[in-house]
Structure 1
Amino acid sequence: MRNIMRTAFDRGQPPTDKDVALIADLIRTGEACTRAELIERSGLGRNSVSTHLATSTSEGLVTQSGRGASKGGRAPITWKFNEQAGTVLTACIGVHSMRLALTDLKGTVLSEFSQAWDLQVGPEATLQEVADRLITLGDGAGAPVWGLGVSLPGPIDHASGRLINPPIMNGWDGFEVGKYLSDKLDLSVVVENDVNAMALGHRAKHGGNNSIYFLMSTGVGAGILSAGRIHRGTGGAAGDLGHTRIPGYDKAVCRCGRFGCLEAAAGGWALERSALRLASDGMSPFLSEARDSHGTISTDDIIRGTLAGDTSCIELVATAAIAVGTIMSMLVSFYNPDKVVLAGAIPTKCSLFSTSVERTIKEQALPLAASQLSLEVASSPEDDGIRGCALMVVEEAFGRATSARVIS
């Protein structure tokens, strides 16, 4: 395997002066956009703010955006963050595919690359492929690359970028993804669980500072945001709901060897297993035909059957939705979020799923906790993931400069 040249593309970062970084970051996050607001929010004096604002402008981090509302005198100048001041490389690595992108500092995709990929080939082969592809994307950057954001479908030790007992990633346990890619590309690397990255990316575009982002894919899991920041828990296991036991599902055998796990009731592999059994038993002509057509049954077949009115497919989707709704109702009662976001092929394409989850939450959750709750279906989890990976890099970069505002 060839090594990546460490001087392949320009690298950059926020200013190393913590006060200059603080001024730029306050503008970036929308917490302040006028000189007076910057003085109030930063705690710095007028002269210092003026000096650091001038530096931020000269370095291309912020630009004037017009004038704000007058409060009795001349309307104040307003400032905005320059999202083109740098770029970010991102890599969303899934069980069966990877999507890599070059984005601006807001997470808007500038160029990208996608391909099918089997995660089970192991970490070194996978990450060498990622590095090779990223070097090509980085070569096309029109601004310095600030870093690399990576998401993976397993528990992550955020500080080290290391996988922790990932249930569906054989050979990845303990592998230091961040260090490996940082050594290859000579970049700062942030590694995160895939659903956490999606949650952060969704919030940036659609709001929801206190939200639960639930992904239903091969496995299931949730990203939890508190005050706009990712809640990871002590060991990085927050939101890892797949092997939580669900009342009433004690006969569902999970691939972990236990009974009654949420994943065994709502994971893509479990639904496909149940669908194949229904096809073999002749309970569903639709599923039998799908199996005979291509030798197996996929989640897409279940979706098509549900939309076509096949009663077996409808029952599979509804049963999964009730299981998910049961878990969500407990989380809503405990956490009192402002939003629950459902992501994945079945939630996106089958309205039956989202309506069943919503009904279950209303029936089972504490009424006060659910009274102001909104339930949304993510239109593009893949875009949420890319955006979230980019924003993690930017947040972490500013956090290093200011010794604050780091996602925790």
Structure 2
Amino acid sequence: MTRTKDLLDELAEIKSASALAEARALRGAATEHTQGSHEILFSSASKSFPLSWRAALARQVALWHQAPQLANYYASLPSQPAEGAGLQAALAHAETLTFTPAAATQGDLHALREAGWSVQDIVTLSQLVAFVSFQSRLLTGLRLLAGHSVPRGSHDAVAAVWRSEPRTATGQPAPQAFTQRELHWEPWLAAKPLDEFNALEQATLAKFGHADSDYFRLLARNLPLLEQRTLTDKGIFYTSGGLPRAERELAAAVASKVNGCIYCASVHARKASQLSKQTDDVARLIATPPGQALETGQSDRWQKIIAFSAALSTTPPNASPRQLDALREIGLDELQLLDLVQSSAFFAWANRLMLTLGEPFE
């Protein structure tokens, strides 16, 4: 795929040869595949999910996240007024993903099916909304790093509520509280059977370890996008230097607590605990009650990291220049700050897929 521009570089107004530009170049894989994900979503489309619908939905999601530069960009693309049952159903789904992803149910997907959406288009729709949620936060973080003013939401950055139903839709025991234990996940839509992928597609799934996962074989109904998303993930979390990997995983766990994603929180809190050896501190984070600040009781460094990550994860984002200055005061350089922004922002994407396409079980 040949890329002629980097959309976020333009919208964030990053000066060439700046410390931020150099940091993004060092994180070239994340930069490239974030743009690649965007291009997959907005360079081609199906007749049942046209580009005009995608642009209209993306603009609305960017507006909800108070990302005016991004909203204006999507407004410049050919779009279509929100008319007809199919697009109205998509907007309702997008609003749930944006503001209350942890409240999503299997019935939300049933409503899309009733409005004529295919399983493949529902997956792409969910990816689009979740991606623009990530893209908006990443743009907010980049503009903060570049020294520009950004709109701020008014929501407190606190731990979210988790649902209390004792059973999943299929009768499996549902987790009742955030945990570091290993959880399982089941989809509300049928994952694509492995034997329905061709040999090249199966090889792609196997390369990333996705072949045996219902979650990834569901997302693989749009395999080119899944591939770009996976490479974005790897570019953010599996690169050398910069912010310690343990603190990138910490940011992922924080975002998951803010978004109410009990599955992602369990995975990434466990990784943060293993890598940092700060088992009690991670346990304290995971045990934070709903409505409470996540940084309470942590070391000075982790307080500042957690507070920024949580603020970037609210809807709309609420991160501030003051928080960024506090991170610089404890020694985080531009590459480390970029790693923190990207690790936090990515889970706006990951959480929204996990929460709205299926559910965890014990």
TM-based fold match above 0.5: no
Give the structure with the larger strand fraction. Answer: 1
TM-score under structure 1 length normalisation: 0.29
**Greater RCO (Cα-Cα under 8 Å, separation 6 or more):** 2
Report which of the two structures shows the higher radius of gyration computed on alpha carbons. Answer: 1
TM-score under structure 2 length normalisation: 0.32
Give the structure with the larger helix fraction. Answer: 2
